[in-house]
């Protein structure tokens, strides 16, 4: 007789009590994952809705630029019967969009150059050098991000007027530069902090002065961040309307593109040249889309490089 045959069978596994923490281990693993999937799905839906809200008006503007006035109002959501390139030539010459476009290129180019030069130098000093008042100066720049433009329009008008720069591109360039510096310093200061100190020390050992070290060593290393903040400044200054409206109100030959398009939209109600208006809008929108598409990888790398230390 086998002695093991007389042993009682092992007790059946009892179900875990409701208060036992181990009872929810298996079920708890699925809860957070399902919540993550839910929030991820909601995020994708929100991004899709936002993309539709942004893309559809732009596409509609591009289509309307090739239509005539009757097609715009009779069949706004259909393709144009033919590609009417004369709308662009009429907007460029008759509506003087070509002159406004050139003015915008001059103003934005000069202001972006000054902004990047002064902003990068200030951000580098604030990020890499320790001195009394460093944090106070940095927070003074950062506070400019919370200052709305329209609150300073009246005093800014009189300041520019007293300097003799009213209705000039020089005055507008200086104002653009001043209002772009807070964001530039804030962004680049965080970026310069992520650069390795060993490279700067090696440059100093090799005989580089502070100026040469900045322009020949540190600026090439900060190229992704410089490109990113430069593109943001170009887009913001290109689309600026309030400042030119106040500072260039009496010099129509020096208007920038946003002022010219606003003038075209006002006159379109009387002349009914809506196709020319949409052609002018297309001329204003396309350069920024092309710039962003060309430098998209540099912008993304600059944002991620500046975010990770």
Proportion of the chain in helix, strand, coil states, percent, rounded to 5: 80, 0, 20
For the chain, 309 residues long, the average pLDDT of each consecutive 10-residue run is 52 54 50 77 89 90 89 85 88 87 95 95 91 91 86 90 93 94 92 84 82 87 88 91 90 89 74 81 89 76 55
| Range 97-307 has CATH code 1.10.3720.10 | yes
Q: Does residue 77 sit in helix, strand or coil?
A: coil
Give the closest residue to 225 by CA, choosing from 183, 192, 181, 272.
Answer: 192
Q: Assess contact for 242 and 153: CB atoms under 8 A.
A: yes
Of 291, 224, 274, 293, whose CA–CA distance to 90 is shortest? 274
**pLDDT computed for residue 91 by the predictor:** 86
Q: What is the pLDDT, as a whole number, of residue 16?
A: 53
Beta strands in the chain (DSSP E): none
Measured CA to CA, the distance from residue 267 to residue 248 in angstroms comes to 19
Q: In angstroms, rounded to a whole number, what is the distance separating the alpha carbons of residues 285 and 238?
A: 10
The confidence score (pLDDT) of residue 40 equals 82
Q: How far is CA 228 from CA 5, 13, 185, 190, 240, in A?
A: 79, 62, 13, 13, 19
Nearest-angstrom CA–CA distance, 257 and 283: 9
Domain regions of the chain by residue span: 97-307
pLDDT at 309: 45
């Amino acid at each position: 007789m086998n002695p093991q045959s007389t042993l009682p069978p092992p007790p059946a596994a009892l179900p875990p009590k409701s208060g036992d923490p181990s009872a929810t281990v298996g079920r708890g693993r699925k809860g957070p994952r399902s919540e993550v999937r839910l929030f991820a799905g909601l995020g994708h839906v929100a991004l899709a809705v936002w993309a539709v809200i942004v893309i559809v008006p732009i596409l509609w503007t591009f289509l309307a630029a090739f239509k005539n006035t009757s097609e715009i109002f009779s069949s706004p959501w259909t393709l144009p019967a033919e590609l009417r390139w004369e709308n662009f030539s009429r907007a460029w010459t008759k509506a003087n969009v070509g002159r406004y476009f050139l003015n915008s290129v001059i103003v934005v180019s000069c202001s972006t150059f000054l902004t990047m030069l002064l902003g990068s130098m200030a951000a580098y000093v604030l990020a890499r050098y320790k001195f009394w008042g460093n944090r106070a100066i940095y927070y003074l720049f950062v506070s400019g991000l919370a200052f709305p433009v329209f609150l300073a329009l009246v005093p800014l008008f009189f300041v520019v007027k007293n300097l003799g720069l009213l209705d000039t591109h020089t005055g507008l360039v200086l104002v653009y530069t001043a209002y772009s510096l807070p964001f530039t310093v804030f962004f680049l200061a965080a970026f310069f902090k992520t650069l390795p100190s060993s490279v700067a020390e090696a440059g100093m050992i090799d005989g580089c002065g502070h100026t040469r070290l900045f322009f020949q060593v540190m600026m090439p290393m900060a190229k992704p961040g410089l490109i990113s903040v430069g593109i943001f400044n170009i887009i913001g200054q290109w689309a600026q309307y309030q400042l030119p409206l106040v500072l260039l109100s009496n010099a129509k030959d020096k208007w920038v593109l946003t002022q010219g398009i606003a003038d075209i939209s006002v006159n379109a109600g009387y002349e009914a040249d809506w196709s020319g208006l949409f052609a002018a809008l297309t001329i204003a929108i396309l350069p920024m889309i092309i710039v962003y598409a060309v430098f998209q990888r540099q912008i993304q790398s600059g944002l991620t490089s500046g975010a990770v230390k």
